[in-house]
Amino acid sequence: MATSFNTCLKRGCHVVYALEIEGIPFLFVEKHVRRVTAESNAASPGFIDGYGGATVAGLIIDGQKIGEEIDRKKGVSRARSLDFKLAYAPLEDAGVIDNLFQKPSFLSPVAADIDTGATSFTVTAVGGGWPNPAGIYVGNEYIYATGVAHSEPTTTFSSFTRGAWGPKYDHDAGGFTASRFATDRPNIWRGRMATLWECVVNQEGRALFDTWKTGDYCRQAWKGTLDASPVPGQVGFEFSAQALVRKLTQKIGFTGDWRIMWNELGHSFTEIVESPTADPNFQSWQGVTLGLYDPGDGSMAVDFHILLDDGTDESVTVSNSTARAYASVGHWAGDIAAGLVSQLSSDLENAKSYTSSSQAFFLFDVTDQASGTQLKSESTASVTGGTAPYFLRANQYAYPKYSTDIATVGGAETPMNHFRLETSWDWASYDVFPWLLVVNDQSSTLQDYTLPATGYAIAEADGEKELFKFANGADVAAYPGAKAIKVVQRAISGTPVNLAKYGVTIKVVAGTQGDLKSCALTMLESSGTATRGDFDTLGLGMGYAIDDGHISEADFGTSVAMYADRELVAADDGTVSFEGLFGGWYTMSGTCVAQRRNSSGVIQLRPVRHEVYALSARDPAVVSISASDILLKGVSPLEVVEAPNVVMVGTKSMANDAAYDVTVRSVPEIVREGVRAWDIKCPHMDAQDAYNAAQRAIVLGAGQYAITLTLGPWVDVQVGDPCILALGNHRGTFDFDDGTVGMTSAFARCMGVERDLETLEQKCRFLLYGNSIHPSLYCPTATVTAHSGAVVTLDTGEGAWFAATETVRLYNPGREELGTPEYSDIVINSISGDALTLASSAPAWVANNTTRATFPTYASASAGQRGFFFFKSDYRWN
Amino acid sequence: MSQSTITAPPPGGFLYAWIDSGVPGARTVTRPGGAEITAAENHLHFVDWQKLIHNAVFADHGSTFTFDTATGLASFVANVAGDYKFDRCGDLCGLAHQTNVARTFAEDERLDSFYVPRGAIWLMGAEYEEIELAREVQFDQFRWRRGYGYSWGGARIYRWRLTMHKDALDSFDAGWCATGKVTLQMANATAIADSGTGYTGSLTGYVVGVQSQRWLGPARDVAEVELLIVGAD
């Protein structure tokens, strides 16, 4: 088995650092290093060779420390920033110093917005001159194009690789800063992500890795974003970067007050429109009246999907004379009108009946052949047996405009070439989803910010507030500065407001809704490009645009953050930070969002626990630290950690300012110690959750203390790790369980790690167990992933829960009480990794990935196993 | 024909580097056209250099490494003719400066160290003392290599004062004995009999740092190197 990264450091190996910067096609290393397997230097990683980049020496990180400390009150860890330099001389030797830092020779404004899917784009470049191939910097993105064509005054790039050396971005041609320019040299530095890698070299300084950033001997040490442009110093350009997790304390979003533009009631359309936002008559409607008429050629292709009550989705087109379809008025009804007119009139004339005997629900799904825009109805309509349409939306009805009498529709064959469909909505109804035409309310703000395509807003009128979600935001050609938005979800919070009422104000908010996990991830990932991950759903500027590769999404679930499944409206007025919206939630979960390295060596954001309770050395997640891991200089005196005796949980939110504020007090402690209060903002938290969480914070905090140890670099410990400290009866410690001076074994949680990048020493702060009564641990439930004969293999790392000569209980969950119970206690003869060799063959009912392994009942349990307990349907033990 | 560059007198003792065969770089001899020969991977992990080569296994053709404590030379005998390549184990044995550069061997041809093995530094003399101050010393001769050592646990700190010829100093500066774990063996320097046998009168510890290097006399033939050693596991 290969020696681990950390163990190498104990055995005389060292590290050499490499730094990558988002959108910069160079890997900056301290020194080019030869490999242990060849005379040549470690190879450049992908995206460098062939993309106009290189590996360049000259990184200087002298005297730097990286560190992170859990913040138990704010829910987002405190992490140190990193300063580094790029030395002049190596950059000059490599011939890249001008490529990186000289003013761009091409400063070409992009001609139109570039989205992440673009396969070509055009810039204004009078006189041309862009080389082919071209390395192009646009915002934070590096694009390498092998297709460069100039036609005065523009240059078009094609055949390119997007997001080479970093993620893709949308680029807005309408900006007025450097963000809108394509350049041949970096024009923007601030905000780029920087990742520091540490890679192992042996005693003679040769690389154990063949390629930078790859393999078991390279891993990420730190990750953050540049928070200043490079400054020329004495030896090189000086950079400063803040840790990625600190980005979560930065406010994002925009304050925006808007008002609705209104048209007169009953505005009539007189022409076909291709999209509402291009229609000069497009307005916010109180009532919608559509005149349907025969355009003459009847060429509009309209497809209807009739969803019958038996679940059948019947696709019908208007050109099919046997089809029957009535459409409620959705958006872009003009398009629909063009397609419906001939078919509807024909159907009404012939008065045909629906084939469904009871009710048929239908949705329409229209594709505008010209623009490719797909239109979908937001509503359903029901039709009962006959010919009269009933629409689910309130107050919708239809009648022929020019026929003599609607009554004839059901019977007489009356030619009807014109048809009128009219709606009148109750705009205070939660299921009415109108289009709104909004403009900046210049009575309160004057701003250059435009609405995102998708987002949340609060409508306010007559003292009522309603949080709604909108989508399809777009400019309206006829009204510069105005935006059309489609309301897609009403009354997320608050009371439905009559949107038709004059004087309604619209305030755009930052945030989202859903369960805590999805809300948090949505804010982290949203970039407006839908490329950062599954949760990249909000518009530009409404999220941190962090790629999901930098986030451990699973750890945002309930396994770590206990309230991850709670529904909330995470929105706030104007600008807001992740810490402000969610920090209290993670605090109350006993967690803190931190940046940690995962098992693949990648630094990711994730919540980590900071509560201390009983631990088992058998748990693979537990880090055991002994006296031989502690450097001689490295034990600090114990210090008492102040714990709260009053926790105030503010659950009010902008959307619900009538919510409770929950205060939990431990009066005896207040009497003895005075008030030590925590004030936690936890918007939208349920009062009962808040009450329980506050109680837990007080109870677990009682009597906690901390110790700081300086550990060797071979100890793989990070913030949030559960630890068992075996300090060899160190006199500076006290065992509160035994009441003796000196701890032989203490449960602890790693709360902070500060690492010297030069010596690799780690100064770690551990929170130690308090005076609270700790429960026994639950038995582990390991999963059988393979079995053959007497050998049963458990999931990765789970073999550590067991020991040879102990007994393992195998069982199939839910089948323990069968006539032939599917559980069995078998002695373990030996263990190799996760493979248990049993004294007898595994029972026939054992199934891979179904059967679980745990400890046996008390009588059969070893001394070590008796420290655990489990619940069964009819009893519990220990 | 000997290609030896060694001018040093025969060694009086050795400073052995400890080699981790759990990492790539010092465990493999390859023979193009034949099987790749893994000398030590999966066999031993963290052992001193002499143990490593003593226990090297070349399963397919029976080539051998040996080490003569009387001459201080390591030898490789190729039992099968062909082109052989050494990873850093060649340099550790004083057989090949370069990594995985082919050398043609005749059948049973023997190649002896032509410079002082990096893994067994020849010593002319050695003395040690226990020091009271638990401290560490920065070894920044090679900035990029860092070369920090650590003292930990209930360790004792020693200062080893080693006298060595300039040929040995060259090998010492290669780094294998300047960081990590080392074993000092002076009196009764003998080859080990098997993997389970230690050395007589040896000391083992981790290098905290190289405290000093100085020449003894103007001829610059002999140097004194002071190491701080922590005697912890």
What integer pLDDT is reported at residue A79 of this predicted model? 94
- Residues of B whose CB is below 8 A from A12: 18, 20, 176, 179-181, 206-207
At residue A337 the predicted structure's pLDDT band, cuts being 50, 70 and 90, is very low
- Is 80 exceeded by the pLDDT of residue A269? no
Q: Answer yes or no: is pLDDT of A427 > 50.
A: yes
Q: In the prediction, which pLDDT does A83 show?
A: 95
Q: pLDDT tens digits for B19-34?
A: 998 888 888 888 766 6
Find the range with the poorest average confidence among A123-137, A483-497, A678-692.
A483-497
According to the per-residue pLDDT averaged within each range, which of A301-315, A643-657, A734-748, B207-221 is highest?
B207-221
Query: Comparing C-alpha atoms, which of A478, A550, A69 is closest to residue A281?
Result: A478
Task: Among B20, B134, B178, select the one facing A632 at the smallest CB separation.
Answer: B134
Task: List the beta bridge partners of residue A485.
Answer: A436
Structure letter (DSSP) for residue B107: T
| pLDDT at B143 (0 to 100) | 36
Can you tell me the distance from the alpha carbon of A243 to that of A543, in angstroms, rounded to the nearest whole number?
17
Contacts of A649 (CB under 8 A, 6+ apart): A584, A588, A661, A662, A663, A664, A680, A682, A685, A690, A691, A693, A694
Largest CA distance in chain B: 57
Mean pLDDT of chain A: 76
Rg (C-alpha) for chain B, rounded Å, is: 18
Weakest mean pLDDT among A13-17, A244-248, A443-447, A682-686: A443-447
pLDDT at A170 over 60: yes
And the tokens for A475?
């400019």
Query: Would you say A573 and A509 are in contact if contact means Cβ atoms under 8 Å apart?
Result: yes
Assess contact for A590 and A562: CB atoms under 8 A.
Answer: yes
The helix (run of H) or strand (run of E) holding residue A59 is strand A59-60
- For residue A203, give the nearest of B22, B154, B179 by CB distance: B179
Given this model, what pLDDT does residue A281 score?
A: 40
Interface residues from chain B to A (CB-CB < 8 Å): 17-18, 20, 22-26, 42, 45-46, 87-88, 91, 98-101, 118, 134, 138, 142, 144-148, 150-155, 174-181, 206-207, 232-233
| A55 closest CA partner among A84, A38, A31 | A31
Does A644 score more than 80 pLDDT?
yes
Q: Which of A3, A200, A632 sits opposite B152 (nearest CB)?
A: A632
How far is residue A233 CA from its own chain's centroid? 38
| A745: pLDDT strictly greater than 60 | yes
Which residue has 């032509």 as its token pair? Answer: B114
> With 60 as the cut, is the pLDDT of residue A420 above it?
no
**What integer pLDDT is reported at residue A335 of this predicted model?**
41
CA A56-A59-A63 angle, to 5 degrees, is 170
The secondary structure of residue B38, as a DSSP letter, is: E
Average pLDDT on A101-107 reads 92
Q: What is the mean pLDDT of chain B?
A: 80
Average pLDDT over residues A234-248: 95
A631 interfacial to chain B (CB closer than 8 Å): yes
Local structure of A801: helix, strand or coil:
helix
With cut-offs at 50, 70 and 90, classify the pLDDT of residue A485: confident
A583-611 per-position pLDDT tens digit:
999 999 999 999 999 999 999 999 999 88
Q: What are phi and psi of A336, to 5 degrees?
A: -65, -40
Residue B13, classified by CB atoms within 10 Å of its CB into exposed (0-12), middle (13-18) or buried (19+), is buried
Contact B180 A12 (CB under 8 A): yes
Contact A385, A358 (CB under 8 A): yes
pLDDT at B154: 61
CA distance A763 to chain B (A): 13
Q: Which CA distances in Å does A443 have to A253, A259, A440, A446, A843? A: 21, 10, 9, 8, 77
Tell me the longest C-alpha to C-alpha distance in chain A: 103
pLDDT of residue B147: 58
**A80 CA to chain B: closest CA distance, Å?**
22
CA atoms of A286 and A275, how far apart (whole Å): 19
CB contact under 8 A, A2 and B100: no
Structure tokens at A62: 């002298």
Residue type at position A637 = P
Indicate the pairing of strand A464-475 with strand A455-461: antiparallel
Beta bridge pairs of residue A182: A108, A138
Cβ-nearest to B134 among A204, A629, A633: A633
Q: Helix and strand tally (H, E) in chain A?
A: 8, 56
Burial status of residue A380 (CB atoms within 10 A of its CB: 0-12, 13-18, 19 or more): middle
Q: Is the pTM of this model over 0.90?
A: no
**Is A204 an 8 Å CB contact of chain B?**
yes
Confirm if A614 and A774 have CB atoms less than 8 A apart: yes
What's the pLDDT score for residue A453?
76
Other Cβ atoms less than 10 A from the Cβ of A763: the count is 18
Beta strands in chain B (DSSP E): 13-20, 28-30, 36-38, 46-48, 64-68, 73-78, 82-86, 103-105, 109-112, 120-123, 125-131, 157-165, 181-185, 202-215, 222-230
**Least CB–CB distance from B25: residue in A208, A631, A713:** A208
Question: Which pLDDT does position A193 carry in this prediction?
Answer: 94
B181, A714 contact by CB (below 8 A): no
Please write the tens of the pLDDT for every residue from B152-198: 666 677 889 999 999 999 999 999 999 889 999 876 555 554 444 55
Using CA atoms of A67, A71, A76, A79 in order, give the dihedral in degrees to the nearest 10: -10
Q: What confidence score (pLDDT) does residue A407 get?
A: 33
- SS3 of A167-219: CCCCECCCCCCHHHEEECCCCCCCCCEEEEEEEEECCCCCECCCECCCCCCEE
Residue A84 DSSP SS3: strand
Does A426 have pLDDT greater than 90? no
Q: Which residue has the higher pLDDT, A56 or A449?
A: A56
Which of the four pLDDT bands, split at 50, 70 and 90, describes residue B45? Answer: confident
The answer to whether the Cβ–Cβ distance between A631 and B98 falls below 8 Å is: no
Q: Which two tokens stand for residue A481?
A: 């500065």
Is residue A324 over pLDDT 80?
no
d(CA B5, CA B8): 9
Tokens at residue A359, please?
A: 């009710």
Q: Where is pLDDT greater, at A777 or A701?
A: A701
Pairwise CA distance, residues A828 & A512, whole Å: 51
Calpha distance B179→A713 (Å, rounded): 14
pLDDT per residue as tens digits for the range A130-169: 999 999 999 889 999 999 999 999 999 999 888 777 888 8
Residue A303 has pLDDT above 80, yes or no: no
Do B25 and A206 make contact, defined as CB atoms within 8 angstroms?
yes
- Comparing A743 with B84, the larger pLDDT belongs to B84
pLDDT at A302: 36
DSSP three-state, residue A628 = helix
pLDDT of residue A300: 29
More confident residue, A188 or B132: A188
A512-527: per-residue pLDDT in tens?
888 999 999 999 999 8
* Spatial contact of A602 and A548, defined as CB atoms under 8 Å apart: no
Give the burial class of A690: count Cβ atoms within 10 A of its Cβ; 0-12 exposed, 13-18 middle, 19 or more buried.
buried
List the single residue in B17, B45, B99 with the smallest CB-CB distance to A37.
B99
Sheet holding B82-86, edge to edge: B36-38, B28-30, B82-86, B103-105
- Is residue A71 predicted with pLDDT exceeding 60? yes
Percent residues over pLDDT 70 in chain A: 73
User: pLDDT tens across A341-383, in order?
Assistant: 444 434 433 333 333 322 222 233 333 333 333 333 333 333 3
Taking the Cβ of residue A39 and every Cβ of chain B, the question of whether any pair is shorter than 8 Å is answered with yes
Q: Which two tokens stand for residue B60?
A: 């397919």
| Residues of chain A neighbouring B204 (CB-CB closer than 8 A) | none
Number of CB atoms found within 10 A of residue A832's CB: 11
- Give residue B225's pLDDT band: very low, low, confident or very high (50, 70, 90): very high
- Which token pair is B208? 């905290």
**Which pLDDT score is estimated for A462?**
81
| B139 pLDDT tier (thresholds 50, 70, 90) | very low
Instruction: Give A864→chain B minimum CA distance, Å.
Output: 27
Q: Do B22 and A3 touch (CB under 8 A)?
A: yes
- A606 C-beta neighbours (distance < 10 Å), count: 22
- Residue A359 backbone dihedrals phi, psi, to 5 degrees: -130, 145
pLDDT (0 to 100) of residue A422: 36
Over the stretch A534-575, which tens digit does the pLDDT of each residue have?
A: 999 887 788 999 999 999 999 998 777 888 998 888 877 667
Q: What is the pLDDT of residues A108-130, one digit of tens each?
A: 999 888 888 888 999 999 888 89
**In this complex, do B26 and A200 lie within 8 Å of one another by their Cβ atoms?**
no
pLDDT of residue A325: 30
